[in-house]
Amino acid sequence: MPARPALLVRMASRPRLGAGRLSAAAALAAAVLLAAAVPAAAATRFAGKTRNGGAVSFRVSGGAVSRFQATLSITCVSAAPARSASMIYVVAPAAPSRVSKRGTFSFSFKRAKEQFRTPKTGILQTLYAVRGTGRGAIAGRRASGTVKVTYNMNWLAYNPATGFSTLTIAACFSATNAWTARRA
């Protein structure tokens, strides 16, 4: 006895009502499902660390790197009166970066001013002349690169000559931090 096929194709002798036509609602539903499924499958997430232990993450989709974030340790110093401190800064460029055919990408950003409230004290902090640069290379399941940021800020520094705290300008910078990441 011949094996029966798992899927039977029914041939109709006469066309059924509506056969061969797709309703507008069904076509729209199919288009929405297809559009939602394609980008989700195409996006690849990478996660890793900087040389100093800060987190790095980004997504690659449609030939572009987006949502790049790197946590850097920043050193701030002022000359008169002398004061230094370490701070944490999260580099997050606003625009996506194109990935070249060789798998490399780069970004840079300049912001005249950034403001945020410190979590502990709630004090409004203002950063001036914020500049950041970064570059990376993606090779299969791994990625690596560098990132750097500089900015200026005002802070209070104790002046032992006067016995008072003085509002002074601090220059803040990170070394060029190497980072590595893997597909998450």
Position 128 in a domain: yes
| Pair of tokens at residue 81 | 């009166």
Is the pTM higher than 0.85? The answer reads no
pLDDT in tens, the chain (184 residues): 444 433 333 333 444 444 444 444 444 444 444 444 334 446 899 999 999 899 999 999 999 999 999 999 999 998 877 888 888 889 999 899 999 999 999 999 999 988 888 777 777 788 899 999 999 999 999 999 999 999 998 887 777 888 888 888 899 999 899 999 999 8
Position 48 in a domain: yes
Rounded distance, CA 104 to CA 106, Å?
7
What's the total number of domains in the chain? 1
Which domain does 68 fall in, by range?
44-183
Position 94 in a domain: yes
Position 2 in a domain: no
